[in-house]
Structure formats: structure tokens, C-alpha cells
């Protein structure tokens, strides 16, 4: 059995190509045409449906109910659940919902992986600013956050001007180690 090279496949008449997927053993990502969907639906309709003419026994129904105790919902609750699931379910993406500046600051401060970044002038060791993230520091210094991360890791002086640290100096007098 020979494999059809991609150059030959690309030149093959498209009308003769059927049942081709990106990966031979998977239909992941394949989108059926409307005609194909109708044919599949018709093929599984009526007596051809695997569940046609079958009903769950009382024992099976009881077992299904036992797996979901107390999950009966009123029509009103079902309507509310349905309405809540429509559209964008991201709280901040909902129309008219925004955090206040105070709540944004609280969220930033309460991040478990939050790390304050201190920027000092190289010569005077004077504190230029304390920032809540690499990106805030990078924006202030007009460099990329990767640059800030690299200078934090190396301990080098940025542009012969700034010392970037994750902890404050114990003393701000010149000559102390960085």
C-alpha cells in the first residue's frame, strides 16, 4: 500500500475526495455539512434509533434518581438557570458589571503569588517606586516584562540607572550591597 504524497493530494479533484480528515483515525474538528447531518438524523430515526421501543425499568429509574438526590427544580428555577447560562457567563463580561478601583486594588493585593517589585535609582539608592507586578514595573520603565524579570534574576543594573529588587533595601545609604 502506498501513501499519497501531499502534492498529489492537493492536485486531486476535490469532487472525488470524501471522508478525509486531518488525522486519519480521528474526526476531531470535522464539521458535517447540512446534508450529512440530515442523512445521519434520518438514519437514526424511528426503528433505527438504538433506544426505539425501549423504556427504563422501575429499578433503573430508581438507580438514576438515587445518583441525584434533591435535584428537582421548579419551572421558575429551570427558567432562571436557563437565563443565567445564556450568553457570556463570565461575570466581568456581563454588560454593566465592572469592579470599582478599590476592589481591583484588593484583588491585586490578595493574590497568593503577588510579589512587590521595588525600583531604586542606581547612584543614590533612592526608592523610585513599588509596583504590584512585573507588567506594572515594565510599563513604568518603558521596557518589556521579560526584561524586568531578567534583571530581577540577574541583579544587574538596568540601563545603568535602575536597581530592580523583590525586597526593599534594609538601608538606603549608597555603598550598601544590592
* pLDDT (0 to 100) of residue 10: 65
* pLDDT (0 to 100) of residue 162: 94
* pLDDT (0 to 100) of residue 150: 93
Could you tell me the three cell numbers for 50? Answer: 438504538
* pLDDT (0 to 100) of residue 1: 47
Give the closest residue to 148 by CA, choosing from 136, 43, 160.
136
Q: In sequence order, which residues have a C-beta less than 8 Å from that of residue 121 and are 6 or more positions away?
A: 128, 161, 162, 163
* pLDDT (0 to 100) of residue 144: 92
- Output the tens digit of pLDDT for each of the chain's 178 residues: 455 555 666 676 666 665 566 566 667 777 888 998 899 888 888 888 888 888 889 999 888 888 877 777 888 988 887 777 776 555 555 556 677 788 877 877 777 667 789 999 999 989 999 988 888 899 999 999 999 999 999 989 999 999 999 888 875 445 544 4
Q: Give, for 82, the enclosing helix (H) or strand (E).
A: helix 75-85
Q: In sequence order, which residues have a C-beta less than 8 Å from that of residue 116 and are 6 or more positions away?
A: 130, 131, 132, 166
**What gap in Å lies between CA 27 and CA 19, rounded to an integer?**
9
* pLDDT (0 to 100) of residue 178: 47
**What gap in Å lies between CA 93 and CA 85, rounded to an integer?**
13
**What gap in Å lies between CA 81 and CA 73, rounded to an integer?**
10
* pLDDT (0 to 100) of residue 83: 78
* pLDDT (0 to 100) of residue 115: 77
Whether pTM exceeds 0.75: no
Give the closest residue to 108 by CA, choosing from 131, 142, 137, 128.
131
Q: In sequence order, which residues have a C-beta less than 8 Å from that of residue 124 and are 6 or more positions away?
A: 174
Amino acid at each position: 500500500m502506498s501513501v499519497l504524497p501531499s502534492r498529489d493530494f492537493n492536485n486531486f479533484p476535490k469532487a472525488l475526495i470524501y471522508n478525509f480528515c486531518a488525522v486519519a483515525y480521528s474526526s476531531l474538528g470535522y464539521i458535517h455539512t447540512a446534508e450529512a447531518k440530515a442523512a445521519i438524523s434520518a438514519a437514526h430515526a424511528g426503528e433505527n434509533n438504538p433506544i426505539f421501543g425501549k423504556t427504563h425499568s422501575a429499578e433503573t429509574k430508581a438507580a438514576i434518581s438515587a445518583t441525584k438526590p434533591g435535584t428537582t427544580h421548579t419551572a421558575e428555577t429551570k427558567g432562571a438557570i436557563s437565563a443565567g447560562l445564556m450568553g457570556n457567563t463570565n461575570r466581568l463580561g456581563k454588560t454593566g458589571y465592572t469592579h470599582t478601583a478599590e476592589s481591583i486594588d484588593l484583588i491585586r493585593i490578595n493574590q497568593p503569588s503577588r510579589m512587590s517589585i521595588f525600583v531604586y535609582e542606581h547612584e543614590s539608592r533612592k526608592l523610585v517606586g513599588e509596583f504590584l507586578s512585573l507588567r506594572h514595573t515594565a510599563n513604568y520603565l518603558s521596557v518589556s516584562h521579560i526584561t524586568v524579570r531578567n534583571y530581577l534574576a540577574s541583579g544587574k543594573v538596568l540601563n545603568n540607572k535602575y536597581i530592580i529588587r523583590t525586597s526593599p533595601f534594609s538601608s538606603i545609604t549608597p555603598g550598601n550591597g544590592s
